[in-house]
Amino acid sequence: MGFNWGFIVKFLPNYAAAVALTVKLAVLGVSLSAVVGAVCGLVLYFKVKVVRTIVRGYIELSRNTPLVIQLFFLYYGIPKLGLKLSGEACAIIGLAFLGGGYMAEAFRGGLESVSEAQLESGLSVGLNAWQMTRFVILPQALSVAAPALGANCVFLIKETSVVSVIAIQDVMSLTKELIGMYYNTYETLAILVLCYSLILIPVSLAFSLIERRLRHAEFGD
C-alpha cells in the first residue's frame, strides 16, 4: 500500500490547530518554569535561610516525579479539594512545576561559576548588591547556564506529548486518535515527526545562536 498523501492533506488543518495548542502550552510552561527556576536559583545562590530548604525540597520533588503523575494530581486530585482546573491550566502548571526544578539547577550552576575574583573586582569599584547582580553575576551566569537552559527548554517541549493523558487535543493526542480511527499509521506518524521537528529545530538553533552571542559578549571574540 502506497503513502496516502490525500489523508495527510485532509487532516493538515487539524494538525495545524494541534500544533498551535502545543506551542501555546510549551511557551507558557517554559516561560513560567524559567521564572520559577531563576527565583529558586537565586535563593540557592544567596543561601536564603529556611526558604533554601523549601526550594531544595521542591527541586527534589519536581525532578523525581514523572510529569504524568503531576498531571494526574492536578487534573484529578486537586478537584477533590474543591479547586477545578482546566486541562490547559493543569498542563501549564505541570510543565512549570517540572521544569522549574531543572531550570533552578541550571541557574544555580551558572551563578556559582562566577569567580570570587569577579565579585571582589565589582566590590572594589563600588558596586552595590543590585549592580553586582545585574552587571557582574547575571551576564556571566547566563553565559555558562545557556546550554543547560536550552536543553531544558527542548526537554519541556518534548514533555508536552504527555499532556494528552488529561484529554488535551495536542499533536500526540490527535495522532493517537487518527491512528485508532483510520489505521493510517505511517501517514500520521510522519506528520507527528514533522510537527515536532518544526517546533524543536528552530528552538535548538535559536539557543545555539544565543549561546554563541553570550560567549562572544563575555569574551569579546
pLDDT at residue number 71? 92
Rounded to two decimals, the pTM is 0.86
Residue 125's Cβ-side half-sphere holds a number of Cα atoms within 13 Å equal to 10
Type of residue at 109: G
In tens, the pLDDT along 40-86 reads: 998 998 888 889 999 999 999 999 999 999 999 999 999 888 888 88
pLDDT band at residue 220 using 50, 70 and 90 as cut-offs: low
Q: Cα-Cα-Cα-Cα dihedral of 116, 122, 123, 127, to 10°? A: -140
Q: What range defines the domain where residue 77 resides? A: 5-219
Q: What's the angle, vertex CA 129, arms to CA 42 and CA 51, rounded to 5? A: 30
Q: Once rounded to an integer, what is the mean pLDDT over residues 141-165?
A: 89
Type of residue at 54: I
Q: Residues near 174 by Cβ (< 8 Å), separated by ≥ 6? A: 11, 14, 15, 18
Domain CATH code at residue 26: 1.10.3720.10
pLDDT at residue number 218? 58
pLDDT at residue number 185? 86
In tens, the pLDDT along 170-206 reads: 888 888 889 888 888 888 989 989 999 999 999 999 9
Q: How many domains does the chain have?
A: 1
Q: At what angle do helices 5-45 and 185-219 cross, to 10 degrees?
A: 40
User: Whole-angstrom Cα distance, residue 45 to residue 42?
Assistant: 5
Confidence check: pLDDT of 221 > 60: no
Judge whether 92 and 23 are in contact, CB under 8 Å.
Answer: no
Confidence check: pLDDT of 219 > 60: no
